[in-house]
Amino acid sequence: MEHASHIFSYKTLGLVLGALLVLTGVTVGASYIDLGWVNVWIALVIASAKASLVLVVFMHMNSAGKGVVVSFLSTVFFLAIMIGFIFWDVAFR
């Protein structure tokens, strides 16, 4: 079947679900430790990792067409710029 390679096993899906929950816990835990501006980057990195897992495994981005992948990467790039530009303000207040 053409789409067979796109289907992940229940075990994989369960592992990803577990990873998402663990990463959520890490985010909450990290928020209790005051690391200054590093806190924001930790939260962003964890959130990006979680979003990537959802996109690759649950939304099958790994087997999507070129157009979809390029569109997705554009949105990531755009979002990164938007968030990054806020630091022109936050980092220099």
38 alpha carbon, distance to own chain's centre = 18
Q: Which is nearer to other proteins, 22 or 87 (CB)?
A: 87
Least distance (Å) between residue 14 CB and other proteins: 29
Measured from the Cβ of residue 5, the count of other Cβ atoms closer than 10 Å reads 10
Residues 49, 36, 31, 40: is their CA dihedral positive or negative?
A: negative
Q: Which stretch binds other proteins (CB under 8 A): 26-34, 37-45, 50-58, 71-79?
A: 71-79
Q: Which amino acid type is present at position 88?
A: W
User: Which residues are at the interface with other proteins (CB under 8 A)?
Assistant: 67, 71, 74-75, 78-79, 81-82, 85-86, 88-93
